[in-house]
Amino acid sequence: MSYSRKDLTGMIDLTKDEILHLLDTAEKFREINHRDVKKVPTLKGKTIVNLFFENSTRTRTSFEIAGKRLSADTINFSASASSTAKGETLIDTVHNIEAMKTDIFVVRHAYSGAIKFIAENTNASVVNAGDGLNEHPTQSLLDMLTIKQHKGRLDGLNVAIIGDITHSRVARSNIWAMPRLGINLRLFGPKTMLPRCTSPFGVKVCNNMEEAVDGADVIMTLRIQRERQGKLLLPSVKEYARYFGLNAARLKLSNNAIVMHPGPINRGVEISSEIADCPQSVILPQVESGVAVRMAVLYTLGTGQRGGE
Amino acid sequence: MSHGKEILSCEEMAGMITRMVFQILESVRSSGNFGIVGIKSGGAVLARRIADEIAKHSGKSPDVGYLDITLYRDDLAQTQIADFPLVQGTEIGFDVAGRHIILVDDVVFTGRTVRAALDALTDFGRPSKISLAALIDRGHRELPVQPDYVGKSVPTSLSECVQVNFRETAGADSVCIIKK
Amino acid sequence: MKTLLTNCKIVNYDKTITKNILIEDGIIKSLTDDTPTADKTYDLKGKMVLPGLIDMHVHFRDPGLEYKEDIISGSYAAAAGGVTAVCPMANTKPVNDNAFITKYMVDKGKELGVCDILPVGAVSKGMHSEELTEMGEMFAAGACAFSDDGKPVLGSDVMRRALEYVSGFGGMILSHSEDKQLAGEGVIHEGEVSAITGLRGIPSETEEIMIARDILLAKLTGGHVHICHISTRDAVDLVRWGKAKGIKVTCEVTPHHFTLTEKELLGYDTNCKMNPPLRTADDVLAMKEGLKDGTIDCIATDHAPHARDEKFQEFDLAPFGITGLQTMVPLTLNLVREGVINENDFARLCSYAPAQLLRQKGRGVIEEGVMADIAVIDPDKEYVFDAKLNKSKSTNSPFMGKTLKGLCVLTFKNGKEVYKADI
């Protein structure tokens, strides 16, 4: 069981063993975050560049903390405001930074496939921190780590993901990864937010909220971003909350499910305020798992030798 | 894997551990404020053994912790990706600050593992003193590190490998020398 | 100047015969069993000899975007593909929406003399779907048809008047059928692969809605609408329906749409990004059925060169389109080998039918008295399509680096050898 890839671009092509390796490693890293001295010297002298072509404070912070706790030098590069505005191409930007002898790029980009494109054109390791509608693999890993922590296992659990599936990279990463670890995944959302063709996902698509939460061990609600999703996908947040929001009555139908959300949450829209704060909510433990997972990923990619440097 | 040449039998090993336990008890008698930390994975098994014997002889179970030094190794950058050391996790459930810590490993060799362990341990706090116990000292030090308690010094060549088997993990106790 | 081509297996749209071809002063003087003396003789035993292919859908980027292609490089690429006449679309810079630009294109092609340029004039001024262009003047200057290809004609009223107007002098409108709003920010076909890759989808209906509208407008006006680069099963059915109704509708398909499927996009290859997008395996099958039953009138490449830098970027930002002139022969021959069409259909779809649609007399057939535009094809030649073979300024083809079977080895334009393969 090991992970020998140069990059982590997505969950879609990872094997069960590779996913388990990353999760097991992450589990071991959890302890470091509870020490007084939250730092190990493992990646001393390595340079990690957080290359964010799309704004994200929390994912970037999580990666930055993870890198710093491994003693790597982490640099934040917000590209939207600098080079791309000057007309530099994506790969030129990457090569320019790489010329400063950096080791790992953590990249977020607004376009699907952009991280894979970068990974294919650099010798540095590349971690996908979210590309367009495509994937957000470390979020999927932290989701699974959190579930394992709270439910003791992954195999055989019923997980429901509810919200804008079509435009969610979190959903897509979980759709590839979770069934590989024996999770029974089901999806639900407004028809405008479900792909017309869901056969490649190989998971169940539900017809209403009750069916989606019935007997679920885990309920994950996705963030509604009206400003990005446009006004044609849903008529109002009020109506969304009514038909697609998670509330106490619906949670009761589940199998004492834990409640997850990739954040930031819109209270009273995809999840009621009461549920967000209830004991079954593991939204903050997800954030905590995020640091351990990102440490595990950076450790795995950042140590060892690779050819072609 | 070849079993190599057995240099210590089950009985000899038990005798050596007992002797080390008495030496340790002797030196901590004055303070009594001590803890045992084993370096994973061989040292962790040995640390548990030592702690159990101490409990048997003194009637008091000492605190035991386990240290994974993977993240402190100085050779990670030379490791091939496929040979990645698996992170095993550190479990130290007590406060090390102000205490005399007996660091335990099965074999002391170059001294690099001990150096990494010292770094790791001090990240948990400032012990009043750290001593080193090792079942086998096979020489070839690359760093100025000397064990305080040694079961047996075994001269070896660099082409050899010392393997300590514990009944907990290998089924039976023994120490072997294996030619690479 | 006399040129003799001997042992020619002449493949025309209606029959295949074996003769020697005597060319004199650029004209096919005779098809004969004799071997008259000539200044130059070519033995073409074992080759297929077709009338010069006619590609009624190319983008030569000239004037304005010559870094991608120009009429010279485009003409050489055409010749290397066995193509002796092309219809460059109007989306140049500036747009070919007046007789001056049309004439510039025609003259530049003539001066080079490698490939005839039969420009397509824009339907609307600046391709803004607002005002009609001076189609009569462009027609007189050599434009053979009209289209805002690259963009749809948005207003139904504009399309109606354009169809009416050109029908007055026998022209036709080539329809780039795309409902822009439905296409949205789509970059690939909406289906399995868009669900997998997270790339935004373009539903088939984007194309079909517009095709339905344009067929109905042809019915309304009596004008001739030709559907460009048809790509979906239902689109073919719509054309089939229109033809059955007696409406003047014809259509073309590109080699990539009858060869490749959306699966190519799983790796986010920008050289498989084109509009309309690659569709499903069933759609590919429907293209073959349409070619077989005659619903699809001809094959055109939609040769759309783009510079390397433009394709070497984020998938969403890369422009649509691939080159096609030099891959039409092997990909169409694949259909012959599969038994979808026969070799006479090949001559019809790639030469005779476009000549008929474009009302070009003396093209599309090898017979005595016509201009000696001839493509000589080695149907069994296997080779790697590489940068050395490529004559276009651009290399944006998914077939680049791939092994293809069937090569144009020799091309004659007005009796003059304009291309000879050196592999």
Judged by CB atoms closer than 8 Å, whether chains meet at C314 and A113 is answered as yes
Neighbours of chain A (3+ CB pairs under 8 A): B, C
The pLDDT score that the predictor gives to residue A157 is: 98
C33 in A contact zone (CB under 8 Å)? no
Average model confidence (pLDDT) across chain A:
92
Q: Tell me if there are at least 3 CB pairs under 8 Å linking chains A and C.
A: yes
The pLDDT score that the predictor gives to residue A308 is: 31
A21 in C contact zone (CB under 8 Å)? no
Q: Which residues of A are catalytic?
A: 58-59, 86, 108, 136
Give strand pairing partners of B80.
Answer: A305
Pairing of strands C201-202, A184-188: unpaired
Q: What are the backbone dihedrals phi and psi of residue C50, each rounded to the nearest 5 degrees, phi first?
A: -115, 155
Judged by CB atoms closer than 8 Å, whether chains meet at A70 and B71 is answered as yes
Q: Which residue of A has its CA nearest to C185?
A: A111
pLDDT band at residue A80 under the 50/70/90 scheme: low
Contacts of C201 in chain A (CB under 8 A): 196
Ramachandran bin of C121, using left for φ above 0, alpha for ψ from -120 to 50, beta for the remaining angles: beta
Q: What is the mean pLDDT of residues A60-66?
A: 97
Following DSSP, what letter does each residue of chain B receive, concatenated?
Answer: ----EEEE-HHHHHHHHHHHHHHHHHHHTTT--EEEEEETTHHHHHHHHHHHHHHHHHS-PPEEEEE--GGG-S-GGGSBGGG-PPP---B--S--TTSEEEEEEEEE-SSHHHHHHHHHHHTT---SEEEEEEEEE----SSS---SEEEEE----TTEEEEEE-HHHHSS-EEEEEE-
Contacts of A296 in chain B (CB under 8 A): 87
Q: What is the mean pLDDT of residues A48-77?
A: 94
Q: What is the mean pLDDT of residues B9-24?
A: 92
A268 in C contact zone (CB under 8 Å)? no
Q: Which residue of A has its CA nearest to C317?
A: A111
Model confidence pLDDT, tens digit, residues C56-74: 999 999 999 999 999 999 9
Contacts of A168 in chain C (CB under 8 A): none
Judged by CB atoms closer than 8 Å, whether chains meet at C315 and A195 is answered as no
The pLDDT score that the predictor gives to residue A87 is: 78
Cβ distance B97 to B127 under 8 Å? yes
d(CA C421, CA C80): 7
How much is the pTM? 0.89
Q: Tell me if there are at least 3 CB pairs under 8 Å linking chains A and B.
A: yes
Nearest-Cα distance to chain C for A34, in Å, is 37
A285 in C contact zone (CB under 8 Å)? no
Q: Tell me if there are at least 3 CB pairs under 8 Å linking chains C and B.
A: no
Model confidence pLDDT, tens digit, residues B53-107: 999 988 889 999 999 988 888 776 554 444 456 677 888 889 999 999 999 999 9
Asked about C234 being catalytic, the answer comes back as no
The pLDDT score that the predictor gives to residue A167 is: 92
Cβ distance A161 to A193 under 8 Å? no
Task: Count the neighbouring beta carbons within 10 Å of the beta carbon of residue C17.
Answer: 12
Pairing of strands A204-205, A184-188: parallel
Q: How far is CA B145 from CA B19, B74, B115, B116, C249, in A?
A: 21, 16, 8, 12, 90
Model confidence pLDDT, tens digit, residues A226-266: 666 667 888 888 999 999 999 999 999 999 999 999 989 99
Task: Count the neighbouring beta carbons within 10 Å of the beta carbon of residue C237.
Answer: 16
Cβ distance A144 to A181 under 8 Å? yes
Q: Which residue of A has its CA nearest to C196?
A: A200
Contacts of A89 in chain C (CB under 8 A): 309, 312-313
Please pick, among C62, C148, C179, C302, the residue that the annotation labels catalytic: C302
Cβ distance A12 to B100 under 8 Å? no
d(CA A257, CA A263): 18
Contacts of A12 in chain C (CB under 8 A): 196
d(CA C330, CA C406): 5
Q: How far is CA A176 from CA A181, A258, C15, C373, C393, in A?
A: 10, 21, 55, 55, 41
The pLDDT score that the predictor gives to residue A306 is: 38
Model confidence pLDDT, tens digit, residues A83-140: 555 678 899 999 999 999 999 999 999 999 999 999 999 999 999 999 999 999 999 9
Q: Which helix (H) or strand (E) holds C296?
A: none
Model confidence pLDDT, tens digit, residues C321-352: 999 999 999 999 999 999 999 999 999 999 99
pLDDT band at residue A307 under the 50/70/90 scheme: very low
Q: Does the complex come out with an ipTM higher than 0.85?
A: yes
d(CA C308, CA C390): 14
Neighbours of chain B (3+ CB pairs under 8 A): A
Q: Which helix (H) or strand (E) holds C259?
A: none
Q: Please name the member of A12, A166, A197 whose beta carbon is closest to the beta carbon of C191.
A: A197
Q: Measured in whole angstroms, how far is the alpha carbon of residue C20 from the centre of its chain? A: 29
d(CA B129, CA B43): 19
Q: Which of residues 49-78 of A touch C (CB under 8 A)?
A: none
Cβ contacts of B171 within 8 Å, gap of 6 or more: B165
Residue pLDDT tens, chain C, 423 long: 899 999 999 999 999 999 999 999 999 999 999 999 999 999 999 999 999 999 999 999 999 999 999 999 999 999 999 999 999 999 999 999 999 999 999 999 999 999 999 999 999 999 999 999 999 999 999 999 999 998 999 899 999 999 999 998 888 999 999 999 999 999 999 999 999 999 999 999 999 999 999 999 999 999 999 999 999 999 999 999 999 999 999 999 999 999 999 999 999 999 999 999 999 999 999 999 999 999 999 999 999 999 999 999 999 999 999 999 999 999 999 999 999 999 999 999 999 999 999 999 999 999 999 999 999 999 999 999 999 999 999 999 999 999 999 999 999 999 999 999 987
Give strand pairing partners of A240.
Answer: none
Secondary structure of B10-40 in the HEC alphabet?
Answer: HHHHHHHHHHHHHHHHHHHCCCCCEEEEEEC
Neighbour order of strands in the sheet with A73-78: A73-78, A47-52, A104-109, A125-131
